Amino acid sequence: MSEGPEVKIVADKISSSMLGKKIEDIIFKNLNIDIKNKIIGSTLKEIKTFGKNIVIKFSSGIYLRNHMMMWGKWRLYDRHKYDKGLAIPPNRAKWKRNPLLLKNVKDVREDSRVRLTIITKETVLIEFNGPILQFSIDNPLEKEPIKSLGPDCLSEIFNIDEAKMRLHTKQQLLISEALLDQKIISGIGNKYKSEILFICKISPFKQISQLEPTEENILLEGIPKLLRYGYKNSGRTRHLLENEKSSWNTRHWVFRRTGKECWICKSVIKSEKTLTNRATFWCPNCQQ
Ligand SMILES: [Zn+2]
């Protein structure tokens, strides 16, 4: 699950381990030889996020844009362990394991999910599953899809007026759909969509045209606050109460809590995925 805050957390980790490090080798299928030659010997100069995209800039002027979608993962390994075959890849999700074809391997170098490997003297950075890894000489910020992204929930200043204007161009859209449209607001995924609508007490099935102006303002002011909270709290969206223990069940208001009691009104949390395309979680009592 790669939504804006989670993507930014990953970018921070890469940044703290790789920034300024000289690249000794890069392994990527079908990498243009000119680009490869320009990357080797250069350093990682800058790592930034735009919505759910990560953009890495190398000191030689080459860019890499990554979008993890639902499956991508980045991991950092100690070079010494990597060379000795002791760098262990992340486990495959249980439901995806096929005992014959997709068993877990213990040496990351043998893992078929590896798409990109960047090797420095001390650290090895690996991306699994892609799915989008684009190297370019041109700045990806000036190209699609980044060029058309709506205001970024995690940028220093979230432009509410711009977000509102973009929202108003899609009057017929359900709000739960509109929040996932990266050209309206960038960085929100399925989890933050359900959570923000719960916090703002807005039904996910309202069309944009049905939102009261006050609801719209509460929503647009709440979005950057919630995403920043998630960013600072490892993806958590709900505050822990005093004496409450941190667990998967206490992390969120409604997300993946189908059938459980609403934290506020004790009604049963519902979910559905036909009207809204992607799974939506909500409290039918709090959100009307
Ligand atoms: Zn409720």
Spell out the domains of the chain, with CATH numbers in brackets: 4-147 (3.20.190.10), 150-282 (1.10.8.50)
Of 118, 136, 141, 142, nearest to 60 by C-alpha is 136
Ligand 1 centroid–CA 281 distance in Å is 11
Q: What angle do CA 86, 88, 94 make, to 5 degrees?
A: 155
Taking the CA atoms of the chain, what radius of gyration do you get in angstroms? 21
How far is 261 from 269, CA to CA, in rounded Å? 6
What is the CB neighbour count within 10 angstroms for residue 242?
4
Ligand 1 centroid–CA 272 distance in Å is 16
Residue 96 pLDDT: 57
Ligand 1 centroid–CA 88 distance in Å is 43
Ligand 1 centroid–CA 226 distance in Å is 18
Ligand 1 centroid–CA 287 distance in Å is 7
Residue 189 pLDDT: 94
Kindly list the distances between the CA atom of residue 160 and the CA atoms of 153, 174, 201, 211, 257, in Å, as whole numbers in the listed order. 10, 19, 19, 16, 30
Q: What is the model's pTM?
A: 0.92
Residue 179 pLDDT: 96
Residue 274 pLDDT: 80
Ligand 1 centroid–CA 197 distance in Å is 12
Residue 246 pLDDT: 80
Q: How long, in residues, is the chain? A: 288
Ligand 1 centroid–CA 40 distance in Å is 55
Residue 136 near residue 65, CB atoms below 8 Å: yes
Ligand 1 centroid–CA 265 distance in Å is 4
Ligand 1 centroid–CA 77 distance in Å is 44
Mean pLDDT by 10 residues, the chain (288 residues): 91 97 96 95 97 97 95 96 96 64 82 96 96 96 96 94 96 95 96 97 96 96 97 93 83 96 97 84 96
Ligand 1 centroid–CA 271 distance in Å is 13
Helix (H) or strand (E) holding 34: helix 33-39
Ligand 1 centroid–CA 201 distance in Å is 9
Return the percent helix, strand and coil in the chain, to nearest 5: 30, 20, 50
How far is 78 from 118, CA to CA, in rounded Å? 12
Ligand 1 centroid–CA 62 distance in Å is 49
Kindly list the distances between the CA atom of residue 75 and the CA atoms of 10, 69, 110, 198, in Å, as whole numbers in the listed order. 9, 16, 15, 33
Residue 17 CB contacts under 8 Å (≥ 6 apart), including other chains: 76, 123, 125
Q: What b/e string do you get for 8-41 counting C-beta neighbours within 10 Å, with b at 16 or more? A: bebbeebbebbeebebeebebeeeeeebeebbbe
Residue 105 pLDDT: 84
